[in-house]
Amino acid sequence: MHNNKNSFSNLKAIGQVFLLLLLLLNTSCEDTDIVMITGAGIDAMKAATLSDSEVRQLAKQAADLTDNSNRVASSDSPYGRRLHRLVGDHLEEDGRTFNYKVYLSPQVNAFAMADGTIRINSGLMDMTNDGELRFIIGHEMGHVVKNHIKKKMMMAYGSSALRKAIASQDNLAGDISRSIIGSFTEAIVNAQFSQQEEREADDYGLEFLTRQEYDRQAAISALRKLATLGADHSFLSSHPAPEIRANRLEDQLSGKKVESQPSFLQGVMEQLHKLWEYLRQLFFSLF
């Protein structure tokens, strides 16, 4: 029964993507590039049926691209040594293998890929102490373990399918879209997480500190430091509301009952958020 449900969900997802493509291409077919539109159809199907191995392979390619586009701290640099000191014993957690690097950038940022890639900017390391950095690393691990990144990759693949469909048209929009097909990686790195996904990643980060017998208060201080960045900071666009999240973890540590699942209204807002994120991936990144 479970497999039938998954099959139905996959067929539904494929149908939704193809419906978008059909609506988009409901014009004269004289200017359509058949090779490009075929590629769009293939990507649309992949968006709904990506396997775990395909996700890991795509994630590695995306990670290699970002590594080649940034200055990576050497293992014997102060940043490299500090990161190794903090994560050297945590290359495997919950059946996942993780790899870590530091980007030499003053921008406060961190991100994860579905293959266990975790990248930390030196600006974020400068801002946090060891305990706070451990929580942030645990939080990013949570996004991987909870398959949040896989979902973002599926959305990004759907966006790729739509861009290829537009690129199949021999016009200005096609020229523009061809130039941004390579934004797949950027879409994953900058994808915004929902409140529920943030709660799950925060809880995982806190559990990580608890399992390793680290100071759990560091989770709260880390989020409160991030809150000082301001709501319009790029890091907070993908990891929103740190002050609210800090208060929730503080209540949790003090023994107060906290919601692990959103209320009905919050659930509705979460679904609207997911719809907006999907549409944003499909359309906003085009131009």
Phi/psi-derived region of residue 99, left when phi > 0, alpha when psi is between -120 and 50, beta in every other case? beta
pLDDT at position 193 is 84
| Helix and strand numbers, DSSP H then E, in the chain | 14, 5
Nearest to 69 by CA among 178, 156, 186, 149: 186
Task: Map residue 120 onto helix, strand or coil.
Answer: strand
Q: What is the pLDDT of residues 25-71, one digit of tens each?
A: 444 455 545 455 455 555 655 556 667 887 788 788 888 888 988 99
Mean pLDDT of the chain: 75
Is 207 a catalytic site residue? no
pTM here is: 0.70
Bridge partners of 235, per DSSP, are none
What's the rounded mean pLDDT across residues 265-276?
Answer: 54
pLDDT at position 59 is 83
- Higher-confidence position of 155 and 41: 155
Choose, from 93, 132, 140, 200, the residue flagged as catalytic. 140
List the structure tokens of 36.
């490009």
Whether residue 143 has pLDDT greater than 80: yes
